[in-house]
């Protein structure tokens, strides 16, 4: 089935909490360390080495226990609606694609819709780890194809990580599974999807692709009532699966990797994204990098990085973009599109 005319909006993005630098993160680890200052020196040095490799500098973290996942999603939604000059009464479908949640039921999208003042809609959640936001975009595209009466899909995510992070690290070897959590930051993001172009600029979808290689599901987890652990080194090695798949999916669209002007990828670390682009055979400078500014914002990182692209670069009509993410599982989602409407204008975005 060919993809119909579908357009993805500019994003709305907010950052829950306050900036936390590397020094503060190491102080939090020290506060739970049971050894002496002398013993902590080697652990602190190892953590600093991880931050240096990833180019981690700052992440936003929320310590206020009253903050809610849905509230930050609502803030991102309102910004997205304003930026794209879209009234809330045009929204017929609300999908939440985040990892974080305050309860198993009802769907977080229900709470978001109610707080937006929507009285009647179709609202549900999609959960797929760090690819959740893009998987929700793909789901929204399918629903728009299925329901011609739907006008606009609102696709949002909100990552509030305080319950899932652990600073209890007692040995250098613990970093093998816990270092990723020290780079995580909070963010919420929203995108709109509809059949007509956004006058101020947006992405016309050319393709939406996904693949899952489930044998690796155990490498990264957040257990119920537990904290994040991730075998980052093994996950990075799985990156070799991504470039050939990108080439295959672009070839199906009659395109090559060199045709893409901007790569907007999930941001587990800058070194991982740069290596992925190098292995794909494209100039790493075509990538957009936000890990040093916001850390790994999980499912929100594509929206965060997309906003950064529009703020920092000129994106012109006809430019080709890929929004892509990989997640524990292993799952990969790639949205390929072409910029339409106004050029992005840095501070004017």
CB 328, CB 130: distance < 8 Å: yes
Q: What is the mean pLDDT of residues 232-258?
A: 93
User: For residue 270, what are the domain limits?
Assistant: 202-343
Which class for 283: exposed (0-12), middle (13-18), buried (19 or more C-beta within 10 A)?
A: exposed
Look at the chain and report how many structural domains it folds into.
Answer: 1
Residue 124: CB atoms within 10 Å: 16
Alpha-carbon distance 141 to 208, whole Å? Answer: 9
pLDDT at 349: 36
Question: What backbone phi and psi angles, to 5 degrees, belong to 13?
Answer: -140, 135
Q: Would 169 be classed as within a structural domain? A: no
Q: Show the 3-state SS of the chain.
A: CCCCCCEECCCEEECCCEEEEHHHHHHHHHHHCCCCHHHHHHHHHHHHHHHHHHCCCEEEECCCCCCCHHHHHHHHHHHHHHHCCCCHHHEEEEEECCCCCCCCCCCHHHHHHHHCCCCCCEEEECCCHHHHHHHHHHHHHHHHHHCCCCCEEEEEEEECCCCCCCCCCCCHHHHHHHHHHHHECCEEEEEEEECCCCCCCEEEEEEEEEEECHHHHHHEECCCCCCCEECHHHHHHHHHHHHHHHHHHHHHCCCCHHHCCEEEECCCCHHHHHHHHHHHCCCHHHECCCHHHHCECHHHHHHHHHHHHHHHCCCCCCCEEEEEEEECCCEEEEEEEEEECCCCCHHHC
pLDDT at 23 over 60: yes
Lowest mean pLDDT among 20-24, 81-85, 148-152, 232-236: 232-236
pLDDT at 237: 85
pLDDT at 206: 98
Q: Would 111 be classed as within a structural domain? A: no
Name which of 79, 81, 6, 92 is nearest 340 in CA terms: 6
Tens of pLDDT, residue by residue over 319-332, are: 999 999 999 889 99
pLDDT at 328: 86
What are the angstrom distances between the C-alpha of 98 and each of 8, 64, 146, 163, 230? 18, 19, 23, 14, 18
pLDDT at 9 over 90: yes
Alpha-carbon distance 79 to 227, whole Å? Answer: 31
Q: 223-240 burial, b for 16+ CB within 10 Å, e for fewer?
A: eeeebbbbbbeebeebbe
- Report the chain's mean pLDDT, rounded to a whole number: 95
User: What CATH number is attached to the domain comprising 251?
Assistant: 3.40.47.10
Q: Would 295 be classed as within a structural domain? A: yes
Q: Would 221 be classed as within a structural domain? A: yes
pLDDT at 236: 79
Q: Would 271 be classed as within a structural domain? A: yes
Question: What backbone phi and psi angles, to 5 degrees, belong to 284?
Answer: -60, -20
- Residue in this structure with the two tokens 């594509």, named with its chain if needed: 302
Q: Would 298 be classed as within a structural domain? A: yes
Q: Mutual orientation of helices 270-280 and 37-54 as an angle, nearest 10°?
A: 30
pLDDT at 26: 98
Confidence band, pLDDT 50/70/90 cuts, at residue 348: very low
Please give the torsion angle defined by the CA atoms of residues 168, 177, 157 and 135, in that order, rounded to the nearest 10 degrees. Answer: -160
Q: What does the block give as tokens for 292?
A: 């040093």
Tens of pLDDT, residue by residue over 251-309, are: 999 999 999 999 999 999 999 999 999 999 999 999 999 999 999 999 999 999 999 99
Confidence band, pLDDT 50/70/90 cuts, at residue 1: low
pLDDT at 346: 63
Q: What is this structure's pTM?
A: 0.96
Q: Would 144 be classed as within a structural domain? A: no
Q: Would 286 be classed as within a structural domain? A: yes
pLDDT above 70 covers a percentage of the chain that reads 99
Q: What does the block give as tokens for 211?
A: 């693949």
């Amino acid at each position: 089935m060919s993809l119909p005319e579908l357009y993805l909006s500019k994003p709305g993005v907010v950052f829950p909490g306050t900036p936390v630098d590397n020094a503060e993160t190491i102080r939090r680890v020290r506060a739970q360390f049971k050894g002496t200052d002398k013993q902590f020196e080697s652990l602190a040095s190892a953590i600093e080495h991880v931050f240096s490799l990833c180019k981690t500098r700052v992440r936003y973290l929320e310590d206020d226990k009253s903050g809610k996942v849905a509230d930050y999603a609502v803030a991102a939604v309102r910004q997205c609606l304003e930026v794209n000059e879209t009234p809330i009464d045009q929204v017929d479908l609300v999908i939440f694609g985040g990892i974080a949640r305050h309860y198993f039921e009802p769907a977080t999208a229900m709470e978001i819709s109610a707080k937006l003042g929507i009285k009647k809609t179709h609202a549900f959640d999609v959960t797929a780890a760090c690819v959740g936001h893009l998987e929700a975009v793909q789901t929204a595209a399918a629903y728009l194809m299925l329901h011609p009466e739907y006008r606009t899909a609102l696709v949002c995510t909100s990552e509030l990580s305080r319950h899932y992070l652990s600073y209890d690290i007692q040995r250098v070897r613990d970093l093998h599974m816990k270092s990723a959590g020290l780079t995580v930051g909070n963010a919420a993001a929203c995108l709109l999807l509809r059949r007509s172009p956004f006058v101020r600029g947006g992405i016309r979808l050319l393709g939406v692709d996904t693949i899952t290689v489930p044998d690796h599901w155990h490498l990264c987890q957040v257990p119920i009532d537990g904290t994040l652990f991730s075998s980052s080194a093994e996950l990075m090695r799985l990156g070799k699966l991504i470039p050939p798949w990108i080439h295959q999916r672009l070839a199906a669209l009659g395109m090559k990797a060199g045709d893409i002007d901007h790569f907007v990828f999930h941001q587990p670390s800058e070194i991982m994204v740069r290596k992925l682009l190098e292995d794909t055979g494209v100039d790493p400078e075509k990538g957009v990098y936000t890990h040093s500014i916001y850390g790994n914002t999980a499912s929100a990182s594509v929206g965060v990085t997309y906003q950064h692209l529009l703020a920092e670069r000129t994106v012109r009509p006809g430019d080709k973009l890929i929004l892509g993410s990989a997640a524990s599982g292993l799952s990969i989602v790639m949205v390929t599109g072409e910029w339409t409407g106004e050029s992005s204008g840095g501070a004017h975005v």
